């Protein structure tokens, strides 16, 4: 069956792609090892611990207070409660990283939200 020029080119490219598969895999592996060695050498040079973590500067607490009222969770469907949980997690995490963290409060925490947080995020009980 005759093949069009475009089909031949496509087939040729596919063959070349398959033939060079091992070469690409090897290059990726070498690149990963190189990065690992660089990270290790940086770690050895600094000797102060993990430099992957962001160094925390002087934190100046803010006088602002952020209060999240969770008393309306009985009016929400489970999907919305899960979204609220994710938003609260994000707010807490960002506030912890902030240079001027606000005082963060959850009020009327119970019902669906509390059960969802107990189910999916057991660490919330340790939040400060």
Percent of the residues in the chain that have a pLDDT greater than 90, as a whole number: 29
In this model, does residue 64 exceed pLDDT 90? no
Ramachandran area for residue 38 (φ above 0: left; ψ -120 to 50: alpha; else beta): alpha
Name the phi and psi angles at 83, rounded to 5.
-65, -40
The model's confidence at residue 51, banded by pLDDT at 50, 70 and 90, is very low
Whole-model pTM: value is 0.53
What is the rounded CA–CA span in Å between residue 108 and residue 123?
19
């Amino acid at each position: 069956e005759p093949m069009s020029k475009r089909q031949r080119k496509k087939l040729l490219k596919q063959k070349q792609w398959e033939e060079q598969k091992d070469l690409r895999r090897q290059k990726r592996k070498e690149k990963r090892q190189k990065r690992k060695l660089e990270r290790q050498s940086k770690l050895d040079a600094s000797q102060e611990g993990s430099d992957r973590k962001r160094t925390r500067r002087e934190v100046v607490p803010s006088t602002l207070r952020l209060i999240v009222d969770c008393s309306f969770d009985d009016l929400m469907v489970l999907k919305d409660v899960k979204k609220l949980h994710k938003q609260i997690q994000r707010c807490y995490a960002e506030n912890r990283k902030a240079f001027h963290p606000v005082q963060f409060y959850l009020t009327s925490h119970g019902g669906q939200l509390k059960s969802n947080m107990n189910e999916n995020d057991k660490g919330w009980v340790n939040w400060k």
